[in-house]
Structure 1
Amino acid sequence: MEKRLIPLFNRVLVEKIVPPSKINADILLREKSSKLNSGKVVDVGPGIHGKDGKLLHVAVKEGDTVLFPEYGGTEVKLDHKEYYLYRDDNILGKLHD
C-alpha cells in the first residue's frame, strides 16, 4: 500500500525537479544548475485562519511548478521518493512556460 502525506495548515508538498543529465562517453554527468531549485507541487494544505478568522488559502495549487529556497523545508521520503514540505510563505514563486 502506497503511503500518502496530506499537508496541514499552509504547508506545500513539493517533488523536486532533477535537472537532466548529459551523457559523455557513457558517463552520466549532472548539469551544473545556477542554484535554481524548482519542483512540482504534489499537494497543499487548506490554509490558515487570519486574525479576522477568515481562511487564508495557499497561494499555489497541485500541479504548479514552483521555485523554492536553496535551504529550508523538511525532507520527506515516501515509497522511495523524496519530497519537501514548505510553508506557503517560503515558496518564492511560480514558474510558467
Structure 2
Amino acid sequence: MKIVPLNDKIVVERLEADDKTAGGIILPDSAKEKPKQGKVLAVGEGKPLEGGSRAPFQVKVGDRVLFTSYAGSEVTIDGKEYLICTEDDLLAVVD
C-alpha cells in the first residue's frame, strides 16, 4: 500500500534504535527509546498560500531527518510503523 500525504504533511519512516549504549551495554527492547531520526518517504504538495500557490518544502524524499519526541501521528500500515507530521515537527536534516 502506498501512502500519499496531503497538503503540508510528510511521511517519515523511523530508523532503528541503537541496541547498545556508548559504553557498550546491550539494551533490552523495553529499555530502548523510540528513535528520533527517520527517512523521508513522501511529501505532500506544500502548504496552501493565498493566491492559490503552495509553499515549497525544505526537505525532500530520501532525506534523513531529526524530529521531536511528540512529532506528528504514528500509523501502522502493512505491519510497518510510519510517522505523519508537518515540516514544523522536523528539527534538522542529517547529512
TM-score bracket relative to the smaller structure: 0.7 to 0.9
Specify the SS of the correspondent of 1:43. strand
Shifted more, 49-58 versus 62-71: the winner is 49-58
Give the direction of change, closer, same or farther, for the CA distance of 1:18–1:36 in structure 2 (3 Å limit): closer
Number of aligned residues: 88
The DSSP-based 3-state class of the residue aligned with 1:62 is coil
TM-score (norm 2): 0.79
After TM superposition, the runs of 4+ consecutive aligned structure 1 residues lying more than 4 A away are 30-33
RMSD: 2.2
Q: How far apart are 1:89 and its partner, in Å?
A: 1.7
**Equivalent residues of 1:4, 1:78 under 8 A apart:** no
- Report % sequence identity: 36
Alignment map for 1:43-62 (pairs within 5 Å) = 43-62=42-61
Q: For 1:54, what is the secondary structure of its paired residue?
A: coil
Query: TM-score, normalized by length of structure 1?
Result: 0.77
Structure 1, unmatched stretches of 5+, are 23-27
| Aligned position for 1:7 | 5
